[in-house]
Amino acid sequence: MAITKSAKKAIRVSKRKKIVNDRRTKTMKDTVKKIEKAVKAGKKDEAMKMLPSAFAAVDKAAKRGVIKKNTAGRKKSRLSRIVK
């Protein structure tokens, strides 16, 4: 348990950041899953339309430090490969 005032504040801040990071991760994962589901169902044109939103979600996660830059690149590469 935190004792000092600054440690207590750090815990509060980290909780807020975790909520934001979790939301960004969930958005990213949901868009990726939607695309994968559409591809498996054979709806490639629908998946192509969703691709820019997935790229945006992955890029935002990387920009904010939720995932690393190389991880973002790998995810985008795999997504585009699946859709094509």
The domain total for the chain is 1
**Cut 0.75: pTM above it:** yes
Domain range enclosing 56: 42-84
Task: Decide if 14 is inside a domain.
Answer: no
Task: Decide if 25 is inside a domain.
Answer: no
Calpha distance 63→24 (Å, rounded): 11
Per-residue pLDDT of the chain (84 residues; tens, 9 = 90+): 889 999 999 999 999 999 999 999 999 999 999 999 999 999 989 999 999 999 999 999 999 999 999 999 999 999 999 998
Task: Decide if 24 is inside a domain.
Answer: no
Task: Decide if 37 is inside a domain.
Answer: no
Task: Decide if 2 is inside a domain.
Answer: no
Task: Decide if 70 is inside a domain.
Answer: yes
Residue 15 CB neighbours (<10 A) = 9
Task: Decide if 35 is inside a domain.
Answer: no
Task: Decide if 6 is inside a domain.
Answer: no
Exposure on the CB side of residue 70, measured as CA atoms within 13 A: 0
Calpha distance 18→50 (Å, rounded): 27
